[in-house]
Amino acid sequence: VFSPVEMAPRDPILGLNEAFAADQRAGKVNLGVGVYYDEAGKVPLLRAVQAAEEARVAEHAPRPYQPMEGLASYDAAVQRLLFGPDSPLLDAGRLITAQSLGGTGALKLGADFLQRQAGKRMVAISNPSWENHRAIFEAAGYDVVAYPYYDPKTHGLDLDGMLQGLRDLPDGTVVILHACCHNPTGVDIAMADWVKVIDVIQQKGHVPFLDIAYQGFGSNLEDDAAAVRLFAESGLAFLVASSFSKSFSLYGERVGALTMVTASQEETAPVLSQLKRVIRTNYSNPPTHGAKVVAAVLTTPDLYQQWEVELGEMRDRIRDMRSSLVAKLAAAGVATDMSFIQQQRGMFSYSGLTAEQVARLADEFGIYAVSSGRICVAALNTGNIDAVANAMAAVLK
Ligand code: PLP
Ligand code: TYF
């Protein structure tokens, strides 16, 4: 049974962890995987999370199965975070939220649901996008196409290309959109331009599927949800995949959610029943711990405030690293204007390094980045940034 099995290709991002681990050099730096590290180079345990966990452990609560759609208080809190506490959608009977295994799990639930229940076979992702978008939807049986997004000449958004690309897709295509802090480019869509994107999507009957994995890493929790809220105001039916891996630094607990906004109250019960079927036939019901912790933080004012402060600290540290990197690259003799790194948002920078330059960074300096040139700015700290800037300068010359 196993003899015909061939080696699968490595994940282009997670595969870097193995190469990094095998590197014996003391000064090695991993700018590959999108994880927030603190100034000490550690994955932080947020104080708000720790407080919620301590309270939870002290409860010595039993561990029954959860409902298929997960913890109700968590699902409701996710909706408030996405749409805002005053959103009319919260009471409109048009929202379905299911706790998921991270943002990845939310995308997979949505992919399976749309295929089985809406007959969807085509999905469009941005060019470029998070590599796993393509992989998840291909594995779910979709044809994956790309719409223009990033313009390497301006290091910015190719808005006209994007709008035309969306117009050129067959009507009713599922369109994956990064709600904020685009992975991998760090280039976001301005609010005035989101209006144009929504307009085309509406005209074409496309199915918007928003991916929000970095809420709080761009400007703040509210502003980073602005695109989601614009879609909410449009009256369209759409889907949202939330991930709390980064914003709560809870990567391994797999905390995410799929939210579906139906077009009318009548649609909600059948959609929920079919979503539960997708869940039941995949993993039955989700784990308890991460959702309990996140729900406690989101629903306890003190902890929420604490969390917002900690998110702000992470965001500010990344911003400091961006300006510092730009300054250090210039000081190291890089003649081209690298200030775009400072304009980009979220954890990543599309540095403009070529695959060859990225390979040299790893070979000659033990500095690992994604071959697309994406670097995780959140992995920089005052201890490694000089080495990174000097190495980047060396390969850019
Ligand atoms: N979507 C995007 C754009 C991401 O960058 C990530 C990163 O991990 C995810 C989804 C998946 O999140 P999770 O780790 O919670 O599955
Ligand atoms: O883009 C990243 O680095 C993160 C982490 O298959 C990640 O989103 C990377 C690859 C992958 C799963 C998560």
Could you report the per-residue pLDDT of 118-130, keeping only the tens digit for each? Answer: 999 999 999 999 9
Mind giving me the DSSP string for 71-124? -HHHHHHHHHHHH-TT-GGGGTT-EEEEEEEHHHHHHHHHHHHHHHHH---EEE
Residue nearest to atom 6 of ligand 2 (CA): 132
- 325 falls in which pLDDT band (50, 70, 90)? very high
Residue type present at position 310: E
Q: Which-ligand-closest: CA of 178?
A: 1
Other Cβ atoms closer than 10 A to 335 = 10
- 108 CA from centroid of ligand 1 (Å): 12
Does the complex come out with an ipTM higher than 0.95? yes
Q: Which residue in 28, 112, 130, 292 is the catalytic one?
A: 130
Considering the candidates 112, 188, 211, 224, report the single residue annotated as catalytic. Answer: 211
Residue with tokens 């730096």: 29
pLDDT digits (tens, 9 = 90+) for 55-108: 999 999 999 999 999 999 999 999 999 999 999 999 999 999 999 999 999 999
244, 232 contact by CB (below 8 A): no
Note the pLDDT tens digit of each residue in 170-189. 999 999 999 999 999 999 99
By CB atoms closer than 10 A (0-12, 13-18, 19+), residue 147 is buried
Mean pLDDT (whole number) for 6-33: 92
**Minimum-distance ligand to the CA of 248?**
1
The pLDDT of residue 15 is 86
> Long-range contacts for 200-203 (Cβ within 8 Å, ≥24 apart)?
200/163, 200/166, 200/167, 201/166, 201/175, 201/236, 202/234, 202/236, 203/167
Active site residue 307: no
Which amino acid residue places its CA nearest to atom 2 of ligand 2?
Answer: 34
* Ligand 1 pocket test target in 136, 149, 245 with most atoms within 8 Å of CB: 245
**362 vs 347: CA distance, rounded Å:** 20
Nearest ligand for residue 36 CA: 2
Respond yes or no: is residue 130 known to be catalytic: yes
Give the pLDDT of residue 353: 94
Q: Tell me which residue of 200, 208, 233, 215 sits closest to 87, measured CA to CA.
A: 233
Cα angle 276, 129, 114 (rounded to 5 degrees) comes to: 25
Mean pLDDT over 255-261 rounds to 98
Q: Residue 10: its pLDDT value, please?
A: 83
Give pLDDT, residue 11: 83
- Ligand 1 is surrounded, with C-beta below 6 A, by 34, 102-104, 130, 178, 183, 211, 213, 243, 245, 256
**pLDDT surpasses 90 at 14:** no
Choosing from 243, 349, 370 the residue with most ligand 1 atoms within 8 A of its CB, the one to mutate for a pocket test is 243
Cα–Cα distance for residue pair 242/120, rounded to 1 Å: 21
User: In sequence order, what are the residues at sequence separation of 6 or more whose Cβ sits closer than 8 angstroms to the Cβ of residue 347?
Assistant: 34, 36, 181, 183, 186, 214, 217, 246, 318, 376, 377, 378
**Residue 9 pLDDT:** 86
Reference 105, options 249, 272, 283; nearest CA is 283
Distance from residue 207's CA to the centre of ligand 2 (Å)? 24
Average pLDDT over every residue of 141-163? 97
What pLDDT does 114 receive?
98
Nearest CA to ligand 2 atom 8: 34
Q: Give the three-class secondary structure for 211.
A: strand
Mean pLDDT, range 301-323, rounded to an integer:
98
pLDDT at site 12: 83
pLDDT in tens, 268-286: 999 999 999 999 999 999 9
Q: Which atom of ligand 2 is nearest to the CA of 183?
A: 1
211 catalytically annotated: yes
Is pLDDT above 90 for 370?
yes
Pocket of ligand 2 (CB under 6 A): 11, 13-14, 33-34, 130, 132, 183
Instruction: Quote the ligand 2 centre to 13 CA distance (angstroms).
Output: 6
- Residue 397's pLDDT is 87
Average pLDDT of the chain? 97
- pLDDT confidence tier of residue 214, bands split at 50, 70 and 90: very high
Owner of token pair 């979503």: 275
Using a 10 angstrom Cβ sphere, with 0-12 exposed, 13-18 middle and 19 or more buried, the burial of residue 116 is: middle
Walk me through the domains of the chain, giving residue ranges and CATH numbers: 14-45+304-396 (3.90.1150.10), 62-300 (3.40.640.10)
Q: Position of tokens 């939807």?
A: 137
Residue percentage of the chain with pLDDT more than 70: 100
State the Cα–Cα distance between residues 207 and 188, nearest whole angstrom: 20
Terminal Cα distance for the chain, rounded: 52
The predicted model gives 373-386 an average pLDDT of 97
* Nearest-5° Cα angle at 254, 40 to 285: 165
